Chains A and B, each alone.
With several copies, the nearest count.
Chain A
Amino acid sequence: MSENISYREALRMAIREAMLEDERVFLMGEDVGHYGGAYAVSMGLLKEFGAQRIIDTPLCESAFTGAGIGAALNGMRPIVEIMTANFSLLALDQIINNAASLLHMSGGQFNVPLVIRMASGGGKQLGAQHSHSFEGWFAHIPGLKILTPATVQDAYDMLHLALADPDPVLIFENALLYNSKGALETQKKALPIGKAFQHRSGKDLSIFTYGISLFKALEAAETLSAEGIDAEVIDLRSLRPLDDEAIMASVAKTHRVLIVDEGWRSGSISAEIMARINEQAFFELDAPMRRVCTEEVPLPYSQHLEQAAIPQSEKIVDMARTLME
C-alpha cells in the first residue's frame, strides 16, 4: 500500500482521484492544462479529463479565483491553482471580501467549498515578486483555513481534506518540496485539519514549524542531539486553525519554545504562537520563546543574500543554543 513517490506526484494523484470520484471537482488556473502546470503538478490531467475540467485560464487572478467562488456557491468543488503565492495578492479581494465573508454575511446560507492551491516560499532565486511566504499572513483571516503540507503524505491527504471541507481552504505548497520524495499510504485515515503532528519527541525544547522548515528543524534537532540537547519537533500542518492543544502539551513537557517559519518576522505566525503560549501556558515557560523567521526584506536574487534571509538549519541550531542558555 505504501509507495515512495514525489510530493508533486502525491498532489497529482489526489487531484486525479478526487476528479474520478466526484464530477463536481475540477481544476482551474493559469497553465494547468496545455503547459502541464507551472510546477508540473497537473501534467497529463488535461489529456485524461479534457479542457472542461482542467481549465486553462487567461491571466486574471481575481476573476478566476472569484469564478472558483461562484462555482463553489453553485454546487461545484473547484480547485483553483494560483501559480505563485505572490500573485494571490491580485485575488485577495475575492479571497477575503468574498470567499471568507459570504457565509457570515448571508447569515449562514451560502458556504464556499473552494480549494485554492498555491506554490509558495523562497530559496529558488526568483526575487521579490516570486518568493514570498504569505501562509502565516493569510492565517489572520477568519473564514479561511490554511494548510501547509510538508510531507508527501500530507500533500496527498490535505488535498482530500480540503475538498471535503465545506469552507474555503488554502493550501500552500512550498515550491522546493515538489521534488521531495516520501512514503505515501493512500488507505490510511488522514489526520484531520487542525491537528499538528509530532515528528520527533524531545524533552529539552519544542520546535514548532511547518512546511519546508520542518526538514530544516529536523536536521537541526539531529545536530542539537549530538550536543546533548533533545529537541521535540512538531509540524503544525495547519496554520488556521492552530492546534493549541498540541502546542501547549509540548510546552508543558519541554518548557522552552522555538518557532521556525518562513514568513517575515514581524507579524509572523510565530508571533501568534508566542502570543498563545504566553496566554495559555505562561507559567510553563523557563525562558523567553525564540523564533527563526525570514529577515524583513523583499527576497533578493543573489543566492548568498537570499539564503542569508531565510531560515536555515544552522540558524535554528544557534537559536536553540541561545534558548538553552
Chain B
Amino acid sequence: MYLDLNRGREFYKKMLLIRRFEERCVELYSHEKIRGFLHLYIGEEAIAVGIMQALGAEDAVLATYREHGHALARGISANKVMAELYGKAEGASRGRGGSMHIFDAKSRFYGGSAIVGANLPLAVGMALSDKMMQRKRVTVCFFGDGAVAEGEFHESINLTALWQLPVLFVCENNLYGMGTALTISHSETNLARKAAAYRVHSQQVDGMDVLKVAQAAEEAVQRIHSAGGPVFLECLSYRFRAHSMYDAELYREKAEVEEWKTKDPLVLLQKRLETMGLWEETNAQGLEDEVSQIVNEAVDFAEKGTLEPIEDLMKFVYTPKEKQ
C-alpha cells in the first residue's frame, strides 16, 4: 500500500487516539470512574485502524470485549465511548453495556461481545442476509486466537465457506487468550492454516504494521466483493498490557513484552515515515494535541453525562411499544 503524508497522518492519528484514550482509561479506572472489566487494546491498534479504513459505511462490524479500539477506529465518537465507560445515559449503549458492550447502530457497529467466540455465528447470519437480499456489503468479525478453539469458530467458518458468505474474519492473534499461551491452546498454531482447512482464503499478516493490515484488508474486501466467499486474516500482534485490570501477568516474561514493544505500531509507522522523509511534516506534536483534546473532551462529556433514571431499569428488555 502506498504511504503518503495524508494517509500517514490519518493512520497515526487514529492509532494515537486509541492509545491515548486507553491510557486515560487506566487512570480513570484507578479513580473508579470506570468499573467492571476493562480490556485494553494497546499494542494492537494497527489492526483495528488498518481494517476499518477498508470498510464502507454500509459494512457491518462485530467486535470483542476488547473493542474500544474497534469502536474508535470505526468512527464512534470518543465522547460516546467514554460516556459508556462511565455508565452514563449519553454512552454508546446508554450505560447499560459498559466497556465490553459498545454498540452503535449508526455506524453499523454490532458490539462488543463478552462471550468469547459468540459473535462469530452472528456474522454468519448478517452476511447471509446481505447475500439473500443481494446487498453488496461485508461483515467484519473480530476475535482472538483464544476464540479459535471454541466450537462456534468451527461451526461458523464452515457455514460461511459452505454458503460463500461475505465475511471478513479478523483473528487478532496476540499469542495469549487471557493467561493461556497459543501453544497450549491449539494443536495447530498457524491459525491461517487452520482456517484454510475449511477452504477459506486465509493469510497471516503482520498485525503491528498498519500499512500491511490496511493492504490486506483492502485486498480481502475486494476479494469478498468479487469472489463472494469469506476471507480469514490472522493478524500477528501482541497485547502490551495486562489482559484486564486484574491480571498479575504471571504467564509471560517481562522480556517478551519488552521485545514486542519494540514493534509498537506507532513507532513502526513513525520509522516508515522517517525513512520516507515525511515524519517532520507529519507534525506528530500537532496530532498529539488534537488527540489530547479529543480525549479531554470525552472525559468532560462523560463527567457531565447523566444517569439513566432507575425507573427505566426495565426498559429494553423487550422492544418498547412506541418503537414497534
A62 touches B318 (CB 8 A): no
Q: Collect the chain B residues with CB atoms within 8 Å of residue A129's CB.
A: 100-101, 113-115
A125 to B150 Cα, complex, angstroms? 25
Bound Cα distance A130, B246 (Å):
15
A35-83 with Cβ < 8 A to chain B: 35-36, 38, 52-53, 56-76, 78
CB contact under 8 A between A59 and B116, given known A34-B181, A72-B125? yes
Q: Mark A19-32, 1 if CB is under 8 A from B, else 0.
A: 00000001000110
A309 vs B133: C-alpha distance in the bound complex, in angstroms? 40
Judging by beta carbons under 8 Å apart, are A66 and B125 in contact?
Answer: yes
CB pair B180–A30 under 8 Å, yes or no, is yes
Instruction: Name B130's closest neighbour in chain A (CB-CB).
Output: A74
**Interface assignment of A87: CB less than 8 Å from any CB of chain B:** yes
* Number of B residues with CB within 8 Å of any CB on chain A: 80
Query: Closest B-chain residue to A94, C-beta based?
Result: B121
8 Å CB contact of A63 from B94, B114, B152 = B152
Task: Fill in one digit per residue for A105-122: 1 if any B CB lies within 8 Å of its CB, else 0.
Answer: 111111100000000000
CB proximity of B228 to chain A, nearest CB, Å:
14
Contacts between the two chains (Cβ within 8 Å), count: 268
Does residue A321 face the partner (Cβ distance < 8 Å to B)? Answer: no
How near does chain B come to A169, taking the closest CB pair, in angstroms? 11
A65 proximity list for chain B (CB < 8 A): 121
Binds B, one of A5-13, A255-263, A290-298, A312-320: A290-298
Whether B286 sits at the interface, judged by CB under 8 Å, is no
A223 at the interface (CB under 8 A from B): no
Contact of A105 among B97, B105, B181 (CB under 8 A): B97
Interface residues of A in 255-293 (CB under 8 A from B): none
B320 to chain A: closest residue by CB: A108
Interface contact A58-B125, CB-CB below 8 Å: no
Q: Tell which of B35, B114, B155, B158 touches A130, judged by Cβ atoms closer than 8 Å.
A: B114
Interface string of A196-212 (1 = CB under 8 A from B): 00000000000000000
CB of A300 within 8 A of chain B? yes
Q: How far is the CA of A167 from the CA of B247 in the complex (A)?
A: 34
B313:A107 contact, CB within 8 angstroms: no
Query: Do A308 and B313 have beta carbons less than 8 Å apart?
Result: yes
A105 touches B132 (CB 8 A): no
Taking CB atoms, residues of chain A closer than 8 Å to B294 are none
Interface presence of A303 (CB below 8 A): yes
The verdict on B49 contacting chain A, using a C-beta distance below 8 Å, is: no
Tell me the bound Cα distance from A292 to B313 in angstroms: 16
Residues of A at the B interface (CB closer than 8 Å) are 26, 30-31, 33-36, 38, 52-53, 56-76, 78, 86-87, 90, 93-94, 97-98, 102-111, 124-130, 142-143, 145, 166-167, 295-298, 300-305, 308-309
11 additional A-B residue pairs with CB within 8 Å, beyond A90-B115, A109-B103: A31-B179, A59-B149, A61-B150, A64-B124, A74-B129, A107-B97, A127-B36, A297-B313, A300-B96, A304-B307, A305-B308
Could you name 27 residue pairs across A and B whose Cβ atoms are closer than 8 Å? A30-B177, A34-B180, A35-B179, A35-B247, A58-B180, A59-B177, A63-B151, A63-B155, A63-B158, A64-B124, A74-B129, A86-B115, A107-B91, A107-B103, A110-B105, A110-B110, A126-B100, A127-B98, A127-B114, A129-B113, A143-B318, A167-B318, A297-B317, A300-B313, A301-B97, A301-B99, A301-B101
